[in-house]
Structures are given as structure tokens and as C-alpha cells.
């Protein structure tokens, strides 16, 4: 009979201990959200809702170190059955003396699109 190295309660205890040690780093972070309604969703000058209204919302996490990550969603209408967009992003921002910077990656996903139209971008 094989002996288990970790029991379930031992694993939970180690996980809680690690979380408590990380708590000061997590505490120096902000979480925010946003919701909007608009008469049309334009992306780079092109309607994403076929001229119709859009309801959008997002959730953002920002750490004091400059790291941030989040998600954002909106309804869309491309005339092909695609009904929503989900954007996921992460980056790092800060400043050196008087020069500010922001670098990151954003992934535009259309989970119910009939074709593969997802894409990502680096930004800076």
C-alpha cells in the first residue's frame, strides 16, 4: 500500500500559510470595475454592433508594483452569429523620473464566433 505524502488537510494548511505570507503584497493592490451603455460600439472607427446599442463592462486589478490585469466585455453584431467580445489584458506601467511608460498585451476573443477571429496585440 502506497503512503500519501500530503493529506488533504496538510495541503490546505500549506496553501493557507502561503496565502497569509503573500497577504501584504496582495493588500497593496486595487480592484475596480466599470459598466457602460452606448448608442454604438466603435472600434478604430468601425461599428462593432451594426449601428446598434452596446452594453459593456470590465474588471481591473492593479498592484502597487505597476502590474495590472483585467477583462472587458461587450455585445457585438457582425451579422454572422457572433454575439459578444471578451478582452483579456495584462501589463506593467510606471515611470522613470518624469518619463511614464505602459507596456502590455491584449487578447480580443470572440468565443461564439463561427470562424477563428480572435487576435492579440502588444502595446506600449
pTM equals 0.74
The pLDDT of residue 89 is 97
**Contacts of residue 16, Cβ cutoff 8 Å, sequence gap at least 6:** none
The pLDDT of residue 28 is 79
The pLDDT of residue 2 is 46
Q: Are 120 and 107 a contacting pair, CB within 8 Å?
A: yes
The pLDDT of residue 14 is 62
Q: State the number of CA atoms in the 13 A half-sphere of 61 facing the CB.
A: 10
Q: Are 59 and 70 a contacting pair, CB within 8 Å?
A: yes
Q: Mark residue 88 as left, alpha or beta (left: phi above 0; alpha: psi -120 to 50; beta: remaining).
A: beta
Cα gap 45→116, rounded to integer Å: 22
- Decide if pLDDT at 5 tops 50: no
Widest pairwise Cα distance in the chain? 67
* Mean pLDDT over the full length of the chain: 86
Cα gap 75→37, rounded to integer Å: 10
Q: Determine phi and psi for 62, rounding to 5 degrees.
A: -135, 125
Amino acid at each position: 500500500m502506497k503512503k500519501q505524502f500530503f493529506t488533504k488537510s496538510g495541503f490546505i494548511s500549506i496553501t493557507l500559510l502561503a496565502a497569509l505570507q503573500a497577504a501584504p503584497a496582495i493588500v497593496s493592490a486595487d480592484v475596480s470595475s466599470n459598466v457602460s451603455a452606448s448608442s454604438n460600439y466603435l472600434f478604430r472607427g468601425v461599428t462593432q454592433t451594426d449601428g446598434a446599442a452596446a452594453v459593456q463592462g470590465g474588471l481591473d486589478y492593479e498592484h502597487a508594483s505597476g502590474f495590472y490585469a483585467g477583462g472587458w466585455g461587450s455585445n457585438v453584431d457582425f451579422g454572422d452569429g457572433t454575439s459578444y467580445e471578451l478582452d483579456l489584458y495584462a501589463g506593467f506601467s510606471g515611470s522613470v523620473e518624469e518619463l511614464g511608460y505602459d507596456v502590455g498585451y491584449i487578447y480580443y476573443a470572440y468565443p461564439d464566433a463561427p470562424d477563428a477571429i480572435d487576435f492579440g496585440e502588444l502595446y506600449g
